[in-house]
Amino acid sequence: MTIINSDKEPIVVVLVADNNYAMPLAATARSAIVNLNTDKNIEIVIIDGGIKAYNKKKIVKSIKENNVEIKWVKPDRETFKDMKVYKHFSRAIYYRILIPKILPLAVKKVIYLDTDIIVKGDLEQLWNINIGDNYALAVEDMTVRYVSASNGLKKYQEFGLKSDAKYFNSGLLVINVEKWRNENIGNKVIEYIQKYQDEWLWMDQDGLNAAFAGQWGELDPKWNQQPRIYKYASWQDSPWEEDVYQDLKDNPYIVHYSTSGKPWSLGCKHPKKDLFFDYLDMTAWSGWRLNFWRRLWLKVKIETYPYWKPFHRP
């Protein structure tokens, strides 16, 4: 573990992964560190959903710096033993709900990042945004824009939400940990997921949208650019004005590979696929590529287990 050499309050970043996501986690964390103001300290908290010892060593080697402190925490897997897991989802998707319980009481706020993310902006700018009395700061989901969408939040009316209430993507969250603790929000999310898990498509993300009930602050979409931006023929087809659309497309602070087409998986056509490898090459996985034998192995695994795929967001 690296010792922080400054008494300045660090930015606390939480990442969650099982062993399948050890390599992408390293790239995500490395990108956050490289683009951070060098005068700022960062605490990387990794919720370990089953990462093998040899991959833990590679992660530490990838992100160890003088301004970085690394902490490993184990989630209580029993909490989610009865939670639904199917198709592309892994039980690790639920572990973020435990953040207020597993972090020290002194931690009042964290930035949560999915591990299919590359950070291009300075997280200090995000950290300094006033969270106010919101449960979290987030970006509107670019595919499921409103709770009333066909693939949105079923029975949204039960949570006091109107049809035009926005639905957020939970891959990037600035979490008001203190408020979550005080209002026991984690238990609410778990309760909602258990009650509606046969109806909800996005499970924990739906649970968070229900529990927050509109009490979240909306961030600039550049803090969570999602692949939907590349599906529009032009800005006129998008929900944004021309300048916002172009800036979001060309200059995102965060690139989120939130569909099943991950840069390290088969068939990825994301326009910024190479960006992932730029940062991966700064880690202990430098030079890793999806070569012939890895492609063959993945094809066999998918054909044998058709529902095996890394979990993803809409």
Is residue 309 a part of any domain in this protein? no
Instruction: Give the pLDDT score at 113.
Output: 98
Q: For position 45, what pLDDT does the model report?
A: 97
Q: Tell me, yes or no, whether 4 lies in a domain.
A: no
Within the chain, which residues score under 50 in pLDDT?
1-7, 307-308, 310-314
Number of domains in the chain: 1
Supply the range of the domain harboring residue 76: 11-304
Domain with residue 34: its CATH number is 3.90.550.10
| Structural tokens at position 238 | 């998008």
- Domain-located, residue 104: yes
- Which amino acid is residue 266, in one-letter code? L
Domain membership flag for residue 314: no
pLDDT at 2: 33
Classify 26 as helix, strand or coil: helix
β partners of residue 109: 176
Where is 140: in which H helix or E strand? strand 136-140
User: How far, CA to CA in Å, does 116 sit from each of 17, 204, 241?
Assistant: 10, 17, 27
DSSP letter at 143 equals S
In this predicted structure, what is the pLDDT of residue 3? 33
CA distances from 143 to 227, 232, 236, 263, 312 (A): 9, 12, 16, 20, 13
Give me the pLDDT at residue 286, please.
97
pLDDT score of 69:
96
Q: Which tokens belong to 121?
A: 């902006």
Q: pLDDT per residue over 106-158, tens digit each? A: 999 999 999 999 999 999 999 999 999 999 999 999 999 999 988 888 888 98
Distance CA 25, CA 213 (A): 30
87 in any annotated domain: yes
